[in-house]
Structure 1
């Protein structure tokens, strides 16, 4: 193989050409989808088993991504390698499953070898292929057409635009299915508990709040000295003032202390009830942590008091707690 070196202008031109060819390929997909695409979505939606995705070579790599996308958006799915299926892995496929077989040519020997066995199992076979008249398409219950006019490869050989089309069709199937299932953000979060969205939508205030002795609190009749000692000792920059039923009556913060000093008030003679800020911002312990973050942002505060269903103080939460948990 001869090397001609790197020509920066040619590199940029080939990149632009690749983007243009693949963009045209994707734009052309919509006109090619008809009853086959709708039938595939209906079959996957009605499936009481799993969607089994298969494909060889580059189609197999795309198939793994499609299976992962389906699984994370509410459609149970996994990838089975067609060659391994011929040697035992076909046992992963059960009656009632839907098989999505991906082959640009529709003539993959490995897929062709197991199609009869899958048909005997009674699965619904969906073919994603660039040739609607191919062998795979003829044996399928539904055909999703992935044809492209041209590969981005200058030799028109390497799967490039065709694999981009397969990937986009997989995304389209997943989007249509999640919409049909009424799949929402909290459903997505349950499939992604380790991600940022999972943290935001699955983590509750009770999971992050300070509680017990870590919550600074005093009674309304507490002296200012006791209030200050509680506030500084717990290191949260505030203290809650709670009544006899342990309901928050007010809050006293570092900012309130600065304002009292600026006014020259005689701090020694004051009681907690006289200096507290009434109507403190509260959140329920069963609220989502992201909702507590919204309260802080809306009111430009850094801490909130946490109450239970009966309105009793059970904890405290500040912005540092939310940042450590990567909620904000």
Structure 2
């Protein structure tokens, strides 16, 4: 078996990754002078950020557009060829346009470029060629380091696409942070899947109304047992004057088994239990359950009144893990 350091595939991978990592470090040291102005422009635009590119630049452009849109900046990718056949009408004077071309001479971008000049639409160019047609025409220049591609023949878009993608991420995150776009805003754009589940709130997953097991503090334990059995959570909240006083769990029952039926709920309850609020992130609720090694949280309002209950199975079923 070939040693990892002598394996040609490993050597190739390391060479590519080192080349691209060094290129990003180079860009860190030489960010384009126009970068802060581009961030400011995006923040102030009344329209959308329109992005276009051809080939690999187009694929990267779609990703940058998607990242902008998901982090609070309306964005749309326009296919360069389709733009020349009617889709230029998608670009309005309120928009700004980002054109991506490593060479800066991509012929297919010509009509979009001329459209921005004709209607005085702000144009941002991303290219590694500072003297190219694209960057010479652009109002704002995001010029990338002009470095060799990482492939052995120096032709396949590798280093250049990595730099473009990194520049797009830097732009999207800088705008996001300047905009004050937080986790709650992020959830609005990501309601589905695992991420949406993690960012959901306890209020969306908790059981409410008659499903919430509660008894008064002076309730006889025979009735408490009926409540716990009928609700099926293995726990009941104990309230006094409408406020959560404590909880009774299966463990509390075992600890008082000797004279259990002679007691009231208030005498058995574990006081001052850990609770959740309805606006707590579901992921945080799961962390509390795991940390405390419990399976259920009572949900209370600002006045400590029980308004819901959430079980660890509710969180796991929703994909919070």
Equivalent position SS for 2:165:
helix
Alignment TM-score, normalising by the size of structure 1: 0.89
* Cα separation, 2, equivalents of 1:31 and 1:307: 51
Task: Give the secondary-structure state (helix, strand or coil) at the position aligned to 1:125.
Answer: strand
- Which structure has the larger Rg over C-alpha atoms? 1
Consecutive unaligned residues in structure 2, runs of 5 or more = 1-5
Number of residues paired by the alignment? 316
Matched, 1:113 2:111: yes
Match of 2:275 in 1: 282
Give the structure 2 partner of residue 260 of structure 1. 256
What residue is the counterpart of 1:320 in the other structure? Answer: 313
Alpha-carbon spacing, 1:21–1:290, altered in 2? closer, same or farther (3 Å)? closer
Q: CA deviation at 1:205?
A: 2.4
What's 1:30 paired with? 28
Q: Quote how far apart the aligned CAs of 1:79 are.
A: 0.6
Check conservation: 1:151, 1:161, Cα contact below 8 A: yes
Aligned to 2:217: 220
- Post-superposition offset of 1:82: 1.1
CA drift of 1:267 comes to 2.6
* Structure 1 gaps, min length 5: 1-7
1:32–1:145 contact (8 Å) kept in structure 2: no
TM-score normalised by structure 2 residue count? 0.91
Q: Distance in 2 between matches of 1:238 and 1:279?
A: 14
Q: Which stretch of structure 1 is more off in the superposition, 272-281 or 84-93?
A: 272-281
Kindly indicate whether the alpha-carbon contact (under 8 Å) linking 1:148 and 1:165 is maintained by their aligned counterparts in 2. no
Cα distance, 1:193 vs. partner? 1.5
The change in CA–CA distance for 1:156 and 1:284 in structure 2 (over 3 A counts) is: closer
Aligned-partner SS, 1:44: helix
Residues 290-299 or 18-27, more deviating: 290-299
In structure 1, C-alpha distance between the alignment counterparts of 2:303 and 2:30, rounded to whole Å? 59
* Aligned-residue RMSD, C-alpha: 2.0
Matches within 5 A, 1:43-192: 43-192=41-190
Summarize deviations over 1:189-238 as a string: whole Å, max 9, x none. Answer: 2221114343233x232222222332222222322211112112222111
